[in-house]
């Protein structure tokens, strides 16, 4: 299958900025308290459900994957950028990282106990998000959890041109309304357990949303086993 055209821009851009991105982006331990608490809650829910490993989709240099592992979660990372995966493997050789796309995950149905999409879906055009969320739903085991985190807005579409140390980039970014993302998640089959929106402030340049969701079990869905 041929990748969607926008993925080429994302891959090339993050290969270009990878070294500076890894140096500039905060580790989870330096995040604001609410962001850290949502990651901790996700890890606790995944451990309690015990449905399988967690895929950190769009893992970048692996900092959050390693943080989840430190919270007792069996986690591995996937990223579209080969350079990011190379950095992650070097920094965390004890963990598993692979090159892949969230539009076509090379993972069997119902195989995951959790999926983390941490600042990793905002380069996806809104019309392609149903494909991504469908892949998340397909690969997540019933009772498994998805934590989706990213900047939100009023539907802004940005092409920054340069990023992370002033490197030239060709990707686009989308800041969708919280309500639109919630609808897309529900339409994909997820139940939203918690939804947290953080307003811009000292630690945040843009509004941030966290969606803690799960894939319903057969009993929840009213489907006979």
Rounded distance, CA 64 to CA 94, Å? 14
pLDDT reading at 224 higher than 70: no
A 10 A CB-CB count for 212 gives 18
Q: Give the pLDDT band of residue 220 (cuts 50, 70, 90).
A: confident
* Average per-residue pLDDT for the chain: 94
Q: What's the domain range around 60? A: 5-221
Q: H helices within the chain, ranges in order?
A: 5-24, 33-49, 63-70, 82-91, 129-139, 178-187, 218-221
The stretch 84-109 carries a mean pLDDT of: 97
Look at residue 195 in the predicted model and tell me its pLDDT.
96
Residue 67 CA to chain centroid, in angstroms?
14
pLDDT reading at 118 higher than 60: yes
pLDDT in tens, 15-24: 999 999 999 9
Q: For position 160, which CATH number holds?
A: 3.40.50.150
Q: Give the pLDDT band of residue 206 (cuts 50, 70, 90).
A: confident
- The two tokens of residue 117 are 């999409």
Closest CA to 43 of 69, 79, 62: 69
pLDDT reading at 225 higher than 60: no
Domain count, the chain: 1
The stretch 171-184 carries a mean pLDDT of: 97
pTM for this one?
A: 0.94
């Amino acid at each position: 299958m041929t990748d969607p055209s926008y993925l080429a821009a994302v891959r090339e851009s993050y290969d270009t900025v990878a070294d500076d991105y890894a140096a500039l982006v905060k580790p989870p331990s330096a995040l604001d308290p609410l962001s850290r608490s949502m990651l901790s809650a996700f890890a606790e829910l995944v451990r309690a459900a015990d449905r399988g490993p967690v895929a950190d989709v769009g893992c970048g240099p692996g900092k959050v994957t390693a943080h989840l592992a430190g919270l007792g979660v069996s986690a591995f990372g996937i990223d579209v950028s080969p350079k990011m995966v190379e950095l992650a493997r070097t920094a965390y050789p004890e963990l598993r990282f692979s090159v892949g796309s969230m539009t076509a995950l090379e993972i069997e149905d119902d195989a995951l106990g959790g999926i983390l999409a941490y600042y990793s879906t905002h380069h996806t055009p809104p019309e392609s998000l149903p494909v991504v969320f469908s892949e998340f739903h397909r690969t997540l085991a019933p009772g498994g959890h998805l934590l989706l985190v990213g900047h939100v807005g009023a539907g802004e579409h940005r092409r920054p041109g340069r990023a992370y140390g002033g490197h030239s980039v060709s990707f686009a970014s989308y800041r969708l309304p919280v309500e639109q993302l919630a609808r897309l998640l529900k339409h994909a089959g997820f139940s939203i357990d918690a939804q947290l929106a953080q307003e811009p402030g000292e630690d945040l340049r843009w509004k941030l949303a966290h969606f803690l969701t799960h894939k319903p079990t057969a009993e929840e869905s009213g489907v006979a086993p």
